Amino acid sequence: MERKANIAILVSGGGTNLQALIDAEKSGIIHSGRIKLVISNKAGAYALERAANAGISSLVITKKEAGSQEAFEDKLIEALENAETDLIILAGFMSILSEKFTSHFEKRIINVHPSLIPSFCGEGFYGLRVHEAALAKGVKVTGATVHFVNEIPDGGEIILQKAVEIQDGDTPEILQKRVMEQAEWIILPAAAEFVSSKLLLN
């Protein structure tokens, strides 16, 4: 049986990007990796149901139960190593990870951000806030970026970007949906495949 990179996906909410990754694995877009584990930092996240529906193992690890950020990250590392994780994908994971964690998995954590980095990124820019800022600035083009994760929020090396046009009458919610459909759900699976295939060569 050919070796595949083991992928773990970290989630906090509904899991729309997780679903895009599950669908991409099913359709063969992701063929160098397999989604082996989903970890949520929120109990009851709908992403956990998506994982169950796809037959993927899942865990809940919360900072509150762990008692501190350090203990939380230690539990994450333990779970990821037990699953022999090669690649970690942050899919709407609402927790900043420390340098200790990111350096432990250097060049093995990727994230999708809903803008063309370096625009509208960094601390405080997440979810609808990104799209609100893009519309407030009056930019004509936005998009999404997949990047490696380091200790600086949205600061890691860029892997893929895709542009999305802003249209008259866009609200943050409309723009968020278009950026997901036209950019995030396309480049996140593509980047997962690209990085998985690279990891297999090492």
Q: List the CATH number of the domain containing 39.
A: 3.40.50.170
Residue 2 has pLDDT above 80, yes or no: no
Residue 27 sits at φ, ψ, to 5 deg, of -85, -5
pLDDT at 58 over 70: yes
Peptide bond into 172 cis (omega under 30): no
Annotated active-site residue 113? The verdict is yes
Residue 14 half-sphere exposure toward CB, CA atoms < 13 A: 4
Output the pLDDT for position 25.
98
Set 104, 113, 131, 147: catalytic member = 113
Residue 158, Cβ density class (10 Å: 0-12 exposed, 13-18 middle, ≥19 buried): middle
* Tally of domains in the chain: 1
pLDDT tens profile 147-195: 999 999 999 999 999 999 999 999 999 999 999 999 999 999 999 999 9
* 19-21-22-24 Cα dihedral, nearest 10 degrees: 120
pLDDT for the residue 166? 98
pLDDT tier for residue 130 given thresholds of 50, 70 and 90? very high
132-148 pLDDT, tens digit each: 999 999 999 999 999 99
| 23 vs 124, more confident | 23
Domain that holds residue 31: 5-201
Q: pLDDT for 87-107, tens place per residue?
A: 999 999 998 899 999 999 999
